[in-house]
């Protein structure tokens, strides 16, 4: 099983590297692409470096890769210009391209389970903290990202800073992005609790009169 998981993880790394290289060809804004790709690359490098110490499940690595794929798409086009978001804006008569909101929601929804698994398996967290810590971690990281965005906007040229912020004229953009991540995390937590409760629910006892149904004829 460990060998199969290792092959699966290698396949995910190859996919992310290949997709990143493909989307690095003629991005909408080269400087934005470079700046927004730093943290994902550091994340992947950290996961690879700690694979033997803190090996996660295949599903956790898959969820992380799925989020990174969505982020890479946003970075290639710049979030405000992603075609899917533009199509959604026209189809639903929205006031902006909401692809960034979708990715922030997915940040919470897709990365909460990996955090829950890490706290449960390696930090040996039990009880309600198993569900609280992933949520508060997602909210904290989402807030940190907004701070990094503001730093970048101040340090770089103003027009690139606006692209990096991706606010699209919304003065509450940072708060809405953080809220989207929190909502995604809370939804994932509810699903985790429901699934784990179902798996750990005691099976009904088989009555003596019913055992004959389970015995081979």
pLDDT, residue 213, reads 38
Could you give the C-alpha distances from 62 to 45, 57, 178, 186, in angstroms and in order?
16, 9, 23, 20
Band of residue 207 on the pLDDT scale cut at 50, 70, 90: very low
Which H or E element spans position 182? helix 173-200
Per-residue pLDDT reduced to its tens digit, 170-201: 667 788 899 999 999 999 999 999 998 887 76
Could you give the C-alpha distances from 4 to 9, 11, 32, 108, in angstroms and in order?
9, 11, 37, 27
- Domain segments of the chain: what residues? 2-192
Mean pLDDT, residues 141-145? 90
pTM as predicted:
0.85
pLDDT score of 12 more than 50: yes
pLDDT score of 15 more than 90: yes
DSSP codes of every residue in 88-151: HHHHTT-SS--HHHHHHHHHHHHHHHHHHHHHHHTS---TTHHHHHHHHHHHHHHHHHHHHHHH
Question: CA-CA distance, 57 to 55, in Å (whole number)?
Answer: 7
3-state SS assignment for residue 217? coil
Question: CA-CA distance, 94 to 87, in Å (whole number)?
Answer: 10
Mean pLDDT, residues 41-61? 94
pLDDT score of 45 more than 90: yes
Question: CA-CA distance, 78 to 97, in Å (whole number)?
Answer: 11
Of the candidates 80, 87, 88, which has an alpha carbon nearest to the alpha carbon of residue 177?
80
Region class of 127: left (phi > 0), else alpha (psi between -120 and 50), else beta: left
């Amino acid at each position: 099983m460990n060998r199969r998981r290792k092959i699966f993880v290698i396949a995910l790394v190859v996919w992310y590297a290949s997709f990143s290289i493909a989307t690095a060809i003629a991005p909408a804004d080269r400087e934005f692409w470079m700046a927004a790709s730093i943290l994902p690359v550091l994340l992947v490098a950290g996961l690879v470096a700690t694979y033997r110490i803190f090996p996660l499940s295949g599903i956790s690595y898959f969820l992380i890769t799925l989020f990174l794929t969505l982020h890479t798409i946003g970075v290639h086009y710049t979030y405000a210009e992603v075609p899917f978001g533009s199509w959604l804006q026209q189809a639903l008569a929205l006031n902006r391209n909401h692809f960034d909101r979708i990715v922030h929601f997915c940040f919470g929804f897709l990365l909460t389970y990996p955090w829950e698994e890490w706290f449960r398996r390696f930090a040996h967290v039990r009880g309600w903290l198993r569900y609280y810590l992933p949520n508060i971690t997602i909210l904290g990281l989402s807030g940190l990202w907004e701070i990094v965005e503001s730093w970048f906007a101040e340090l770089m040229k103003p027009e690139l800073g606006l692209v990096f912020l991706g606010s699209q004229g919304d003065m509450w953009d940072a708060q809405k992005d953080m809220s989207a991540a929190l909502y995604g995390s809370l939804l994932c937590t509810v699903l985790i609790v429901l699934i784990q409760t179902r798996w750990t629910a005691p099976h009904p006892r088989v009555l003596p009169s019913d055992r004959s149904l389970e015995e081979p004829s």
